[in-house]
Structure 1
Amino acid sequence: MGGWRVPGYTELSVLGEGAQGRVVLARHDATGRPAAIKYLAEATARDARFRERFRGEAELLRRLHNPYVARLYGLVETPDGAAIVMEAVDGASLKAVLAERGPLRPEAALAVLKGSLLGLAAAHDLGIVHRDYKPANVIVRADGLSKLIDFGVAADAGEAGRSGTPVYMAPEQWRDEPASPATDVYAAACVFFECVTGRRPYTAEDQAGLMGRHLHAPVPVGDVPEPLRPLVARGLAKDPWERPLGAAAFVAELESAAAAAYGPGWEGNGVRALAGAAAALSVLFPLTALGLGSGGAAGAAGAAGAAGTAGAAGAGGSGAGAAGTAGAAGKGVLGALGAKGAVAIAGGAAVVAAGGAATYVAVAQDDPPAPKPVVVQLAALNEPQQRLTGGGTWRAEGQIVTVTGIRDAALATKVNQALRAPLDRRFAENRGKLGQYPTAFTDVVRPSILLRSDRLLSVWYETDVRGNVGTGWNAPRAVTVDLKTGTEYRAIDLFRSRDRRTLAPIDGKVAARLPGGVFCQGDSRFGNDTTLASLLGPDEVAMALTPSGVRVGFMGAQLGYPSACGKEVAQVPYADVAPMLKPDLLAGVPYPSPTRS
Structure 2
Amino acid sequence: MTDWQVRGFKEVRELGRGGQGQVVLARHAKAGTPVAIKYLPAEADPDSRERFRHESQMLGRVTHPHVARLYRLVENDNGIAIVMEAVNGVPLTKVLAHHRTLQPEAALTVLKGSLLGLAAAHNAGVVHRDYKPANVIVPADGRSKLIDFGVAVYSGEGSQEGTPYYMAPEQWRGDPASPATDVYAATCVFYECITGQRPYPPGDRAAIRAGHLNTPVPIEHVPEKLRELVARGMAKDPTERPDSAEAFVAELENVANKAYGPTWETRGTRALAGGVVALAALFPLTAAGLASAGGSATTTASTGVIAALSTKAGIAVAGTAVATATVGGRVGVYQATRPEPVERPAAATVSPSPPSKRLNLGDFSITTPLTWRVTHIPGGLGGYRIHLPGRCMPDESRNELCPEIWVFGRRSIDPPVGAGFERYRPDYAWHPGTDPSHDCPPRPSLRAVSGERLLKNSFVQVGDRTAEYREWRMQCADTRLRPVNVFFVQRLWYLPTSRILIVDEWNTPNLTQILARAQWT
TM-score (norm 2): 0.64
Residue of structure 2 equivalent to 1:351: 310
Unaligned runs of 5+ in 2: 322-376, 384-390, 401-419, 421-431, 449-478, 493-499, 515-521
Amino acid in structure 2 at the alignment position of 1:161: S
Distance 2:43 2:437 in 1: 43
The counterpart of 2:130, out of the listed 119, 132, 151, is 132
Quick one: percent identity of the two aligned structures? 52
Residue of structure 2 equivalent to 1:256: 254
Structure with max Cα Rg: 1
Distance 2:30 2:393 in 1: 54
Distance 1:592 1:199 in 2: 43
Deviation at 1:74, TM superposition (A): 1.2
Distance 1:127 1:277, change over 3 A: same
Q: Matches of residues 262-411 of structure 1 in structure 2 within 5 Å?
A: 262-296=260-294, 334=303, 336-339=305-308, 350-353=309-312, 358-363=313-318
Distance 1:237 1:75, change over 3 A: same
Amino acid in structure 2 at the alignment position of 1:228: L
Q: Matches of residues 576-591 of structure 1 in structure 2 within 5 Å?
A: 586-587=503-504, 589=505, 591=507
Q: Could you give the per-residue CA deviations for residues 549-592 of structure 1, whole angstroms, max 9, x where no partner exists? A: 57228xxxxxxxxxxxx99999x999xxx9xxxx96944x4846
Residue of structure 2 equivalent to 1:484: none
Distance 2:393 2:64 in 1: 39
Residue of structure 1 equivalent to 2:453: none
Distance 1:104 1:260, change over 3 A: same
Q: Matches of residues 43-442 of structure 1 in structure 2 within 5 Å?
A: 43-44=43-44, 47-296=45-294, 334=303, 336-339=305-308, 350-353=309-312, 358-363=313-318
Distance 1:126 1:594 in 2: 18
Deviation at 1:543, TM superposition (A): 5.5
Amino acid in structure 2 at the alignment position of 1:338: A
Judge which range, 79-88 or 61-70, deviates more.
Answer: 61-70
Q: Secondary structure in 1 aligned to 2:185?
A: helix
Deviation at 1:511, TM superposition (A): 9.8
Deviation at 1:548, TM superposition (A): 6.7
Distance 1:61 1:511 in 2: 24
Distance 2:130 2:223 in 1: 26
Distance 1:256 1:592 in 2: 40
Amino acid in structure 1 at the alignment position of 2:16: G
Deviation at 1:336, TM superposition (A): 4.8
Distance 1:75 1:330, change over 3 A: closer
Q: Secondary structure in 1 aligned to 2:15?
A: strand
Distance 1:550 1:567, change over 3 A: closer
Q: Secondary structure in 1 aligned to 2:446?
A: strand
Distance 1:512 1:146 in 2: 41
Residue of structure 2 equivalent to 1:33: 33
Distance 1:245 1:585 in 2: 33
Residue of structure 2 equivalent to 1:552: 447
Contact kept, 8 Å, 2:284 with 2:307, in 1: the verdict is no
Q: Secondary structure in 1 aligned to 2:48?
A: helix
Deviation at 1:20, TM superposition (A): 3.2
Deviation at 1:351, TM superposition (A): 2.8
Deviation at 1:540, TM superposition (A): 12
Q: Could you give the per-residue CA deviations for residues 512-566 of structure 1, whole angstroms, max 9, x where no partner exists? A: 4469999xxxxxxxxxxxxxx9xxx99997756455757228xxxxxxxxxxxx9
Distance 1:83 1:226, change over 3 A: same
Distance 1:2 1:538 in 2: 52
Residue of structure 2 equivalent to 1:387: none
Q: Could you give the per-residue CA deviations for residues 171-214 of structure 1, whole angstroms, max 9, x where no partner exists? A: 01100111111111100000000010001111242111111110
Contact kept, 8 Å, 1:25 with 1:37, in 2: the verdict is yes
Residue of structure 2 equivalent to 1:9: 9
Amino acid in structure 2 at the alignment position of 1:91: G
Deviation at 1:231, TM superposition (A): 1.2
Q: Secondary structure in 2 aligned to 1:26?
A: strand
Amino acid in structure 2 at the alignment position of 1:202: Y
Structure with greater proportional helix content: 1
Deviation at 1:294, TM superposition (A): 2.3
Q: Could you give the per-residue CA deviations for residues 424-443 of structure 1, whole angstroms, max 9, x where no partner exists? A: xxxxxxxxxxxxxxxxxxxx
Contact kept, 8 Å, 1:228 with 1:257, in 2: the verdict is yes
Distance 1:78 1:116 in 2: 34
Amino acid in structure 2 at the alignment position of 1:38: K
Deviation at 1:87, TM superposition (A): 0.4
Contact kept, 8 Å, 1:89 with 1:361, in 2: the verdict is no
Distance 1:211 1:568, change over 3 A: farther
Amino acid in structure 1 at the alignment position of 2:307: G
Distance 2:185 2:487 in 1: 29
Q: Secondary structure in 2 aligned to 1:42?
A: coil
Distance 1:594 1:543, change over 3 A: farther
Contact kept, 8 Å, 2:55 with 2:150, in 1: the verdict is yes
Q: Could you give the per-residue CA deviations for residues 49-74 of structure 1, whole angstroms, max 9, x where no partner exists? A: 33333223223333322111223221
Unaligned runs of 5+ in 1: 300-325, 340-349, 369-495, 503-508, 519-532, 554-565
Q: Secondary structure in 1 aligned to 2:310?
A: strand
Contact kept, 8 Å, 1:16 with 1:352, in 2: the verdict is yes
Distance 1:53 1:271 in 2: 35
Distance 2:446 2:94 in 1: 42
Amino acid in structure 2 at the alignment position of 1:359: G
How many corresponding residue pairs?
Answer: 383
Contact kept, 8 Å, 2:55 with 2:148, in 1: the verdict is no
Deviation at 1:43, TM superposition (A): 1.7
Distance 1:63 1:541, change over 3 A: closer
Distance 1:590 1:260 in 2: 44
